[in-house]
């Protein structure tokens, strides 16, 4: 079997495992949609004058896409890899002829495909329920932002497993790593309601820059192609750091036994 066919087979396997796990599907796919409805209901559809007069729902579509991608990549990988490591699945898998890169290609490929699906679903729900404009003319910027962000957060998710000591700690630690940043970065709360000092703290982390790149691409006031190369460069730099940490510290054997 060629390397490409082997990677494709592993990807199909990881897709089946993901979609047959109701908890994974709910927290990765359904929860972002629930957040979109909740925030749109709580904050209404007022005009945000400080952000160029866009509607609140227009703000929350890229915000929830940001949350969905981080959940499908960083959080999902950190949790699933830790669970498999502590149950001995990674150790047994490494004892087979399956190359390491094929294993990661399947997991990361699944995360990126789910991220693309969530981008489509969240955008469609925003359009159908709230009339949010789909940024067709800036679609290349949306896709490039998704690709860079998904790749970077996949690397960070693999790296995060190094500090998760047990299966029970996987979900709490992954949530602690991202939930505060959702609030600080303007994902949960409109950035017009967040003090400048807090936003400057959020600027130190990749979620804020990932959201800013998505927001620019979705903002109807954006002129030009909508690429935010400065923000994307910071996201990519975080991904590179995550990749180096993953290469150095990723474990195939259980830590809690």
User: Does residue 193 lie within any of the structural domains?
Assistant: yes
Which domain covers residue 142, as residue numbers?
3-249
| CA distance linking residue 172 with residue 82, whole number of Å | 12
Residue for token pair 């999902």: 76
User: Does residue 255 lie within any of the structural domains?
Assistant: no
107-158: pLDDT as tens digits:
999 999 999 999 999 999 999 999 888 999 999 999 999 999 999 999 999 9
- pLDDT value for 252: 92
User: Does residue 54 lie within any of the structural domains?
Assistant: yes
5-48: pLDDT as tens digits:
888 888 898 999 888 888 888 888 888 999 999 988 888 777 77
User: Does residue 198 lie within any of the structural domains?
Assistant: yes
pLDDT at 256 over 70: no
Q: Please state the domain count of the chain.
A: 1
User: Does residue 149 lie within any of the structural domains?
Assistant: yes
User: Does residue 20 lie within any of the structural domains?
Assistant: yes
User: Does residue 77 lie within any of the structural domains?
Assistant: yes
pTM: 0.93
User: Does residue 257 lie within any of the structural domains?
Assistant: no
């Amino acid at each position: 079997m060629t390397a490409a066919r082997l990677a494709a087979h592993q990807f199909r396997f990881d897709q089946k495992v993901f979609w047959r796990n109701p908890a994974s599907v709910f927290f990765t796919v359904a929860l972002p949609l629930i957040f979109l409805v909740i925030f749109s209901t709580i904050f209404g559809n007022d005009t945000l004058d400080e952000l160029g007069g866009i509607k609140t729902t227009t703000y929350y579509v890229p915000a929830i896409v940001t949350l969905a991608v981080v959940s499908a990549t960083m959080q999902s990988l950190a949790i699933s890899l830790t669970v498999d490591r502590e149950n001995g699945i990674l150790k047994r898998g490494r004892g087979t002829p399956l190359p390491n890169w094929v294993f990661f290609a399947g997991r990361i490929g699944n995360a990126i495909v789910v991220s693309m699906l969530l981008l489509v679903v969240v955008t469609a729900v925003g359009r159908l329920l709230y009339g949010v404009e789909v940024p067709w003319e800036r679609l290349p910027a949306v896709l490039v932002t998704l690709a860079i962000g998904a790749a970077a957060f996949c690397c960070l998710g693999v790296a995060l497993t190094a500090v998760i000591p047990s299966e029970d700690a996987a979900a709490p630690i992954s949530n602690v790593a991202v939930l505060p940043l959702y609030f600080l970065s303007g994902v949960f709360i409109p950035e017009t309601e967040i003090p400048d000092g807090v936003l400057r703290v959020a600027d130190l982390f990749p979620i804020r820059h990932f959201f800013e790149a998505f927001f620019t691409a979705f903002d109807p006031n954006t002129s030009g192609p909508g690429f935010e190369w400065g923000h994307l460069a910071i996201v990519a730099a975080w991904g590179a750091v995550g990749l180096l940490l993953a290469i150095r510290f990723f474990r195939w054997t259980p830590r809690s036994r």
